[in-house]
Chain A
């Protein structure tokens, strides 16, 4: 005897946040860095500054403008205000991830 609820199908509950990752397209890559402001982001891991200092020298040597940012700690996500500031002050960014 088949009824709408006779157990042919077993039902379970989804344990996840039910967020499927939203695919976001990358921002358009600039054809050239000319006239762009380059953000240099230090996540506060040791020696990230060494890497970014060198990069800054190279970029400014090409006549580009750079802005430096620093996350308070590498173990936490960047505060929302910092993220906003980065998005308003530069055209492209380079982030130094690990030591």
Chain B
């Protein structure tokens, strides 16, 4: 229990409780009868007058006693509780104290009131006090607008955040088995440690539910690897931000959207997981636009860009499985991507024809005359996926066909060719140059059932000098 209790009988009362006020004369009788009585008071330090109450307005003793009700009488022997009674009942009190004829004129019994420790407003405060949460406390006065307070401190992405109360952060931490003080990642550009607790604070602000939190942690781990290079991605003048693609059972369990409007707004898990990652980058990593984020134009995906793959309806193996994660295991894949660029092909019913449309759409990534510069994600929607399923095309076959279709004679794309100064170095004029490397062309299946459309998510600088896509298991 940690708090020494005085020997004899301990009474805990609060002035706000009618039963406590009712028993004040009884407490005085006990004191007069020579009972070693100590009275602790929860609210008014002066109550009950004349009985030398001990101030427990910080509720330390009440919490230690785990009280539900006041008044409570506790018998203490050798510093430890041996028995307790609650409320007012003459026969119970007489038996408990060994003093007869108590409370002349009082009713025979009266139930007690709720201990202040059970008051909902107090419970949150107590929880915060006793949890070992280490984050610095921000105190706001009652009249301060909490949404404005967070904007003023630069802690938001431009949209309002859910205020991270200790109780909310504690609930978020329930979403993972990992200890609050474990370091999840070192977050660039400041290269600051992000603990599970700090990630939880930002996940609360983003609007996550606790069950989303393991996905946030996995995304954060993946983003902060040297290969993914969150630091460079944040600093670049290019449009890109971290795109989170979720595979495995957790996507369905937490209600993620992989169907209608999968890349759009309206689904809480999709929206808040991607946002939580970006808030960590901002608040822990120090990545703020105009400071070290130097994006020329940026893109709306930098608020949040997270979606699940439609595995059930896919003609192909899931992205994470293709990238080495066992079937049925939840995982996230991080891709440094810009906003989706949609394209239509409403006439192709043959995979070869549709692949050509896809190749044209992919050709514009970075610049039509720049090859091997960037990776890309091709998001194939169901009506396009069907064409490949019916023709029996595997994902590998589609990928290799796209790479063939996107391999051009160097002479067509070197600097100056086609009347355009931009392009590949001139010494490559004699070579055949593929637009993408196979591992840099990610293909996923998502979207609503209607629409012969798909989308290209263009990348940033690829490979070791830029960003490499990273897949990580989601740990419970």
Residues on A with beta carbons closer than 8 Å to the beta carbon of B126: 5
List which A43-68 residues lie within 8 A (CB) of chain B: 44
A49 to B372, CA, bound (A): 23
Which residue in A8, A14, A17 is a CB contact (below 8 Å) of B286?
A17
A34 within 8 A of B: no
Complexed CA–CA distance, A15 and B278 (Å): 12
Q: Is A19 an interface residue (CB 8 A)?
A: yes
Residues of B156-210 at the interface with A, using a CB-CB cut-off of 8 Å, are: 163-166, 169, 187, 190-194, 197-198, 201-202, 205
Q: Check B465–A10 contact: CB distance below 8 A.
A: no
Is A6 interfacial (CB 8 A cutoff)?
Answer: yes
Residue B231 is within 8 A (CB to CB) of chain A in the complex:
yes
The answer to whether B42 touches A3 (Cβ under 8 A) is yes
B residues 134-161 touching A (CB-CB < 8 Å):
135-142, 146, 155
Indicate if the CB atoms of A15 and B201 lie closer than 8 Å: yes
In angstroms, Cα B129 to Cα A13, docked, is 12
B58 touching A4 by the CB < 8 A rule? yes
* C-alpha gap A3/B122 in the complex (Å): 10
Q: A15-B283, A17-B190, A17-B198 are in contact. Are A73 and B140 (CB under 8 A)?
A: no
The A-B contact count (CB < 8 A) is 118
The distance in angstroms between the C-alpha atoms of A10 and B143, with both chains bound, is 10
Looking at chain A's contact residues, the main secondary structure is loop
Task: Assess whether A13 is in contact with B201, with CB atoms less than 8 Å apart.
Answer: yes
The interface on chain A, measured as residues whose beta carbon lies within 8 A of the other chain's beta carbons, has a size of 25
Query: How many chain B residues have a CB neighbour from A under 8 Å?
Result: 56
B254 CB–A CB distance under 8 Å: no
- In the complex, chain B residues whose CB is within 8 Å of the CB of A24: none
**What's the Cα separation between A50 and B136 when bound, in Å?**
48
List 16 extra interface pairs beyond A15-B135, A17-B190, CB under 8 A: A1-B44, A3-B57, A5-B59, A5-B125, A6-B121, A10-B141, A10-B142, A10-B165, A11-B137, A13-B133, A13-B138, A14-B137, A19-B192, A75-B236, A75-B466, A77-B231
5 nearest CB pairs, A to B: A75-B232, A17-B192, A14-B136, A13-B135, A73-B465
Mark B residues whose CB is within 8 Å of A. Answer: 15-16, 42-44, 57-59, 116, 121-122, 125-126, 128, 133, 135-142, 146, 155, 163-166, 169, 187, 190-194, 197-198, 201-202, 205, 226, 229, 231-232, 235-236, 279, 283-286, 461, 464-466
